[in-house]
């Protein structure tokens, strides 16, 4: 047997044997009840603005900003908060988080342009593959922008861009959390930090002031804590003059909202294997769950790691780049039923181009029938109106029934939905801010 076959059959067995937790009904019902309680408010908006619609709830967004800031300010002396614009690039979201004392973390010239338009005073520009014009744009706005350099070559290009506009640019360097596999894409290897610092010291238009890393999709802070320990070891071997000049360590984003990850069966390890094997994966009422830690718990463990491994080497400012945690709960999506084809099959006015990906095949979010509210969940495949059967919102709805014209609400659609929307077949939902 080829080694790959052996490894893959082991992996398949392991996935099939993984027992995924069932989403606790009380937690699910608590959420559904909460959104039904606001039902009239949503219906009043729909009366003025026809569906499909995104509703941005300012109060929720502000509350998440405050909770996140409180959690980290309680445990760390000096913290900078930068909202990751990529997670939701609706300008009003950035405007609100700016008002709450966040800076902006941008990853392209377009995002930087928006940040400048919103008069953000504290911007970090991170991400691989920054183009020449983007580096010039950052350099021209160097008073407000710190560039997080992604490679040695980008350092050369930033030097060139900055000197071409006669600016001195504040910079940090991104280090890769895993220099093997797909995460190689990001940043430089940790062991190359001394060489990078040496090269930066010869760039007269660059002031290297910080180090950044980012680890995504963390239900708990274990991976970030592990990397902070490694980073601390590497920093302790850096020259004293570099450490004296170090102004920030940026520990990135990647904090999962505390309700955890809610999955359809097809999103569980066993479901993914079954799907790949073309076996039926069909449990409309089966909802699964990966628990996440609270933001206070993230903050406490990250701060403990920083105190143990970073502060003995440098007492610099700690920066954070949360995206999902801040905006996830602040946007809800409203749709209407256009065609009820059977008791358990309906088509809505919008397609999943509104969120830009086939999210609901694997992720579970309750679909609430605001027109016929009820605390029972009924099996029913809810499709969008695109020309693909993957255009699905879910396999059930909450309510006492479902008819054409009914208004449906899908909550918690604020992260990696609006910014991924695609202009494809159906018009994009407008956003109403309340
Ligand atoms: C560099 C960087 N920072 C922050 C984030 C935001 O991550 P999250 O939305 O998971 O907090 C991302 C997301 O891809 C990122 O690439």
Q: What is the pLDDT of residue 15?
A: 77
CATH code of the domain made up of 59-264+292-326: 3.20.20.10
CA distances 33 to 26, 233, 276, 331, Å, are 10, 48, 35, 17
Q: Is the CB of 252 under 6 A from ligand 1?
A: yes
Q: What is the mean pLDDT of residues 332-352?
A: 97
Q: What is the pLDDT of residue 3?
A: 59
Q: What is the mean pLDDT of residues 18-38?
A: 93
**382 phi and psi, to 5 degrees?**
-110, 110
* Tens digits of residue pLDDT in 17-27: 777 899 999 99
Q: Is the CB of 410 under 6 A from ligand 1?
A: no
- Name the token pair of 82: 């930068």
Q: Which atom of ligand 1 is nearest to the CA of 216?
A: 10
Rounded distance from Cα 31 to ligand 1 centre (Å):
26
State yes or no: pLDDT of 407 exceeds 60. Answer: yes
State yes or no: pLDDT of 380 exceeds 60. Answer: yes
- Stated pTM of the model: 0.95
Q: What is the mean pLDDT of residues 168-178?
A: 97
pLDDT, mean over the chain: 95
Q: Is the CB of 172 under 6 A from ligand 1?
A: no
Q: What are the beta bridge partners of residue 248? A: 210, 317
Rounded distance from Cα 215 to ligand 1 centre (Å):
8
Q: What is the mean pLDDT of residues 10-17?
A: 79
Q: Is the CB of 183 under 6 A from ligand 1?
A: no
Rounded distance from Cα 410 to ligand 1 centre (Å):
23
Q: What is the mean pLDDT of residues 109-131?
A: 98
Q: What is the pLDDT of residue 277?
A: 85
Confidence of residue 7 (pLDDT cuts 50, 70, 90): low
Q: What is the pLDDT of residue 283?
A: 81
Domain boundaries along the sequence of the chain: 22-55+329-433, 59-264+292-326
- Shortest CA distance to 284 belongs to which of 166, 366, 204, 370? 366
Q: Which atom of ligand 1 is nearest to the CA of 126?
A: 1
Nearest CA to ligand 1 atom 10: 254
What is the rounded radius of gyration, in angstroms, for the C-alpha atoms of the chain? 23
Give the whole-number percent of the chain exceeding pLDDT 70: 98
The distance of Cα 340 from the centroid of its chain, to the nearest Å, equals 34
Q: What is the mean pLDDT of residues 91-99?
A: 98
Q: Is the CB of 253 under 6 A from ligand 1?
A: yes
Q: Is the CB of 87 under 6 A from ligand 1?
A: yes
* Tens digits of residue pLDDT in 278-323: 887 868 889 999 999 999 999 999 999 999 999 999 999 999 999 9
CATH code of the domain made up of 22-55+329-433: 2.40.37.10
Confidence of residue 5 (pLDDT cuts 50, 70, 90): low
Give the whole-number percent of the chain exceeding pLDDT 90: 88
Rounded distance from Cα 125 to ligand 1 centre (Å):
12
Q: What is the mean pLDDT of residues 96-113?
A: 98
Q: What is the pLDDT of residue 260?
A: 95
Confidence of residue 6 (pLDDT cuts 50, 70, 90): low
Q: What is the mean pLDDT of residues 174-180?
A: 93
Confidence of residue 390 (pLDDT cuts 50, 70, 90): very high
Q: Is the CB of 257 under 6 A from ligand 1?
A: no
């Amino acid at each position: 047997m080829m080694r790959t076959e052996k490894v893959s059959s082991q992996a398949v067995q392991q996935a099939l044997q993984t027992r995924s937790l069932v989403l606790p009904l009380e937690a699910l019902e608590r959420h559904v009840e909460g959104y039904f309680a606001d039902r009239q408010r949503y219906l009043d908006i729909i009366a003025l603005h026809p569906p499909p619609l995104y509703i941005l709830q300012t109060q929720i967004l502000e509350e998440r900003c405050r909770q996140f800031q409180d959690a980290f300010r309680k445990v760390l002396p000096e913290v900078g908060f930068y909202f990751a614009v990529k997670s939701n690039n609706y300008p009003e979201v950035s405007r609100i988080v700016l008002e709450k004392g966040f800076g902006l973390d941008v990853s392209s010239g377009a995002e930087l342009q928006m940040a400048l338009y919103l008069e953000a005073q504290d911007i970090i520009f991170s991400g691989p593959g920054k183009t020449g014009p983007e580096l010039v744009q950052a350099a021209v706005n160097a008073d407000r922008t710190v560039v997080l350099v992604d490679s040695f070559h980008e350092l050369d290009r930033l030097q060139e861009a900055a000197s071409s506009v006669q600016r001195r640019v504040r910079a940090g360097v991104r280090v890769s959390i895993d220099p093997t596999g797909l995460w190689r894409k990001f940043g430089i290897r940790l062991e190359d930090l001394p060489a990078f610092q040496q090269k930066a010291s010869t760039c007269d238009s660059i002031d290297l002031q910080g180090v950044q890393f980012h680890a995504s999709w963390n239900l708990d802070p274990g991976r970030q804590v592990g990397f902070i320990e490694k980073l601390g070891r590497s920093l302790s071997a850096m020259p004293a003059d570099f450490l004296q000049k170090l102004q920030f360590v940026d520990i990135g984003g990647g904090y999962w909202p505390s309700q955890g990850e809610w999955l359809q069966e097809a999103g569980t390890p066993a479901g993914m294997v079954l799907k790949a094997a073309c076996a039926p994966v069909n449990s409309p009422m089966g909802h699964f769950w990966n628990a996440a830690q609270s933001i206070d718990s993230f903050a406490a463990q990250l701060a403990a790691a920083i105190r143990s491994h970073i502060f003995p080497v440098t007492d610099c400012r700690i920066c954070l780049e949360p995206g999902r945690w801040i905006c996830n709960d602040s946007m809800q999506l409203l749709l209407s039923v256009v065609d009820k084809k059977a008791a358990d099959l309906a088509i809505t006015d919008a397609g999943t181009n509104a969120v830009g990906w086939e999210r609901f095949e694997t992720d579970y979010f309750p679909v609430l029938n605001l027109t016929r509210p009820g605390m029972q969940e009924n099996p029913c495949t809810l499709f969008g109106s695109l020309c693909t059967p993957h255009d699905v919102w879910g396999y059930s709805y909450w309510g006492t029934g479902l008819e054409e014209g009914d208004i449906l609400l899908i909550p918690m659609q604020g992260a990696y939905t609006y910014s991924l929307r695609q202009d494809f077949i159906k018009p994009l939902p407008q956003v109403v801010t309340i």
